[in-house]
């Protein structure tokens, strides 16, 4: 395909600028975390990280309950991922393969759940949780987070399964496989990239979630990192450098996981959305 060299060069430059803007705030978190306090409230504060101050990071680990928070976030995120995918796969398969009464309504309802802001449902949910004894429980957080991200998982997977030719199902059934067997042994492996994509989406949802984690847990020992980090706002005894350190450590796993799996995610989401 013929391209003008100039056009390509301009495109690359623009993309580099955009990539730079995308990454800069994270760089700035790092710079802020390593700025010595003497230089902090200075209009000419340093522009580059001062590696001598990496000790600030260690301070964040020892002076704050960051490790506990991160552990809680990991538990909630993993549980959300497992539960949302576990519920989403059979639902997506049914929506893709079967035709049945009420199917359109189910599909539409799933889409409609995307409109529900957490803030609207948090108070009634609190009453329900209190009645079920799920307050101050990471399991409760997993349950509610998975509920909110499952529709997205289902819709994306549905699109992906739509892309799997039904001949595969037919062939397996001719060989004597049950419907469930078809699903698990034939379809799932084919849509593995999409599965990775939705797994990551669900994981992020649990990792990043704030309102429910804030309202449904009271003790610091149960707080997720999002709540712990937000708790630093308006609190003056923790130095900003430590707060930024916690922010970086909280951001890294999500970004790292994403980068690792991004090939799958891109193709997975594309498979789901282009078909839709």
Q: Tokens for 231?
A: 């708790």
Among 114, 171, 175, 181, binds other proteins (CB under 8 A): 114
Among 70, 157, 193, 239, binds other proteins (CB under 8 A): 239
264 binds other proteins (CB under 8 A): no
By C-beta, is 2 or 176 nearer to other proteins? Answer: 2
CA distance 206 to 42: 37
258 binds other proteins (CB under 8 A): yes
**Of 98, 93, 112, nearest in space to 154 by CA:** 93
Among 169, 172, 194, 198, binds other proteins (CB under 8 A): 169
Among 56, 91, 194, 245, binds other proteins (CB under 8 A): 91
Chain positions 200 to 219 lying near other proteins, rule: CB under 8 A, are 204, 207-208, 210-211, 214-215, 218-219
Cα angle for residues 218, 224, 229 (degrees, 5° grid): 100
139 binds other proteins (CB under 8 A): yes
**Of 198, 244, 220, nearest in space to 49 by CA:** 244
By C-beta, is 43 or 176 nearer to other proteins? Answer: 43
140 binds other proteins (CB under 8 A): yes
The single-letter DSSP state of residue 48 is S
276 binds other proteins (CB under 8 A): yes
185 binds other proteins (CB under 8 A): yes
By C-beta, is 54 or 190 nearer to other proteins? Answer: 190
127 binds other proteins (CB under 8 A): yes
Cβ(155)–Cβ(276) below 8 Å: yes
Cβ(153)–Cβ(84) below 8 Å: yes
- Burial level of 61, CB count in 10 A (0-12/13-18/19+)? middle
């Amino acid at each position: 395909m013929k391209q003008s060299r100039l056009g390509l060069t301009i495109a690359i430059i623009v993309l580099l600028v955009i990539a730079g803007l995308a990454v800069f705030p994270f760089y700035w978190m790092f710079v802020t975390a390593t700025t010595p306090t003497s230089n902090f409230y200075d209009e000419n504060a340093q522009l580059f990280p001062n590696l001598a101050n990496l000790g600030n990071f260690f301070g964040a680990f020892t002076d704050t309950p960051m490790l506990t928070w991160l552990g809680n976030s990991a538990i909630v995120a993993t549980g959300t991922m497992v539960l949302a995918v576990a519920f989403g796969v059979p639902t997506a398969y049914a929506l893709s393969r079967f035709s049945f009464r009420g199917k359109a309504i189910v599909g539409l309802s799933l889409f409609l759940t995307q409109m529900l802001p957490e803030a609207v449902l948090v108070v009634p949910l609190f009453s329900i949780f209190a009645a079920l004894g799920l307050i101050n429980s990471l399991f409760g957080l997993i349950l509610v987070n998975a509920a909110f991200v499952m529709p997205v998982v289902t819709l994306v997977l549905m699109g992906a399964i739509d892309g799997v030719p039904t001949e595969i199902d037919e062939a397996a059934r001719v060989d004597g496989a049950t419907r469930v067997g078809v699903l698990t042994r034939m379809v799932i492996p084919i849509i593995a990239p999409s599965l990775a994509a939705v797994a990551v989406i669900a994981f992020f949802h649990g990792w990043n979630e704030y309102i429910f984690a804030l309202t449904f847990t009271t003790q610091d020992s149960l707080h997720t990192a999002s709540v712990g980090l937000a708790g630093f706002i308006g609190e003056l005894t923790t130095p900003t450098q430590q707060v930024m350190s916690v922010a970086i450590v909280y951001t890294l796993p999500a970004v790292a996981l994403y980068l690792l799996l991004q090939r799958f995610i891109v193709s997975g989401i594309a498979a789901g959305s282009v078909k839709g």
